[in-house]
Amino acid sequence: MADLINHEILLNELSAVEAQLSILINKNKELIGKIGDRDIELLRLRNENSFLHQKIASLESEMKAPKNDGDKNLFNSLNLKERENLKVKLQNLLSKIDYHLSS
C-alpha cells in the first residue's frame, strides 16, 4: 500500500515537472524569437549607422572642397563699370524699400 502511495506521489510530481518543463520550453522559444528579432534590428541599425557615417563623410568633404558657384562667377565676370552700375541700382532699390518701410 505504501508503495502505491509513493508511486502516485511520484507520478504527481512527475506531471508537475512536465508542466513546468512545457512552460519553460514555451518561454525559451519565445525568448529565442525575441533574440532573433533583436539581431535583425541590430543589423538594420548597424547598416543605417554605416550609411549615415558615409553621408556625414561625404557632406564634410563637400564642405571642405572649394565651391565654384555660378553666382560667384557671375559677379566676378562683371567689369568695373558694370559692377558700379549694379551697385547704384541696388542702392536705389534699397532706398525705395527703406522709404516704403518707413512710411
Q: Which residue has the higher pLDDT, 72 or 7?
A: 7
Q: What is the tens place of the pLDDT at every residue in 13-33?
A: 999 999 999 999 999 999 999
- Asked if residues 50 and 42 have their Cβ atoms less than 8 Å apart, the reply is no
| CA–CA distance, 8 with 74 (Å, rounded to integer) | 99
pTM over 0.85: no
Q: Give the Å distances, CA to CA, from 8 to 12, 16, 19, 20, 49.
A: 6, 12, 16, 18, 60
pLDDT band at 58; cut points 50, 70, 90: very high
